[in-house]
Every structure is written in C-alpha cells, then in structure tokens.
Structure 1
Amino acid sequence: MALFKKRTVGKPGEWYYCLVHKKVEEGPECPAKDRFGPYTSREEAQHAMDTARERNLEWENDPKWHDRTKETPDEAPDQG
C-alpha cells in the first residue's frame, strides 16, 4: 500500500505554470519539481515567471538576507 496517494487529476480552479513546457495548466499535469503554483487564476499563473523575477530582485536587495559583515573570515586581515 502506498504511503502517499498520487493525485493524477487537478482540482478545477487550481492553476500552475510548467517550467519544462513553459505553459499554464489547470490542475497539476507535470511533476511538482517542474512547476510553480498553485495559483488562483489562469492570469496569475501566466505571470509566474515575472512574479518569480520580481521576488528574486526583492530578496537580492533585502538587507535581512545580507547578514555578512564587512570582514568575513575569508576577508579578515592577517593577524601575524
């Protein structure tokens, strides 16, 4: 007996963006590792790559994610 039930049919109203086929699909058609979602609308799924790009830029510029000090162990001056 399988531990996890494989869902072969998506729920109506669940939208995904497939990274392999570069298309919007209703319900999960492709494996989870190859898709973004679920989204609540087709339009939202169509903009999945734009949303990811915007979020990546926000994270790259977020000071909370850049907690390195000016002198990291690799950059510390010689003490001897």
Structure 2
Amino acid sequence: MALFKRRTVGKPGEWYYCLRHQTVEEGPECRAADRFGPYGTREEASHAMETARERNLEWETDPKWHDMGKGQGQGQGQEGDGGDPRAS
C-alpha cells in the first residue's frame, strides 16, 4: 500500500494557474511543479504571473536580502577578502 496517494481530482473552489499550459484550472489537473496555487478564486489564479512578478520585485528590492556588507558573510570567496589563507 502506498504511503501517499496521488490526488487526481481537485476540490471545487481550488483554483490553480498552470505554468506549462498558461491556463487557469479548477482543482489540480497538472503536476505540482507546473502550477501556482491554490487560489481562492478564478480571478486570483488568472493574475498568478502578475502576482509572482510583483513579489519577485519586492524581494529583489528588499534591503534585508542585500545586507551582505553588514556583519557575517561579508567577503566570502571575494578577491582580497582574506577568505582562504592558501590563496596568498
């Protein structure tokens, strides 16, 4: 007996955006690696790519993700940082 059963039928009201087919689908029709969701409405799912672009932009401009110059982690593997004493 399998430990995990593959769900073949989605629940009504679960909406996904299929990256492979670039379509909105109710219930998971395509494999998980090829979809975003679940979303609460068809409308939300239809804007999945726009939402992803907005979130990516927020993360790319978030100063918490670009603080390498402050504290540990600075200079790891960079030229002239003294990271590897064998490199001298």
Normalised to the residue count of structure 1, the TM-score between the two structures is 0.90
Unpaired runs of 5+ in structure 2?
Answer: 83-87
**Larger relative contact order, structure 1 or 2 (CA cutoff 8 Å, min sep 6):** 1
Contact in 1 for aligned 2:75/2:81 (Cα 8 Å): no
- The Cα shift of 1:5 comes to 1.2
TM-score of the two chains, using structure 2 as the length reference: 0.82
| 1:63–1:6 Cα change, 3 Å | same
Distance in structure 1 (CA, Å) of the matches to 2:64 and 2:19 = 29
- The percent of aligned pairs where both chains have the same amino acid is 73
* 2:13 aligned residue: 13
- Identify the range of structure 1 (69-78 vs 1-10) with the bigger mean alpha-carbon deviation: 69-78
Q: Secondary structure at the match of 2:25?
A: strand
Q: Give 1 or 2 for the bigger CA radius of gyration.
A: 2
Divergent runs of 4+, >3 A? 75-78
Query: Counterpart in 1 of 2:75?
Result: 72
Specify every segment of 5 or more residues in structure 1 that has no aligned partner in the other structure, as ranges.
none
Counting only pairs closer than 5 Å after superposition, residues 1-80 of structure 1 correspond to structure 2 as 1-69=1-69, 72-73=75-76, 74-76=78-80
SS in 2 for 1:56: helix
Q: Distance in 1 between matches of 2:69 and 2:34?
A: 36
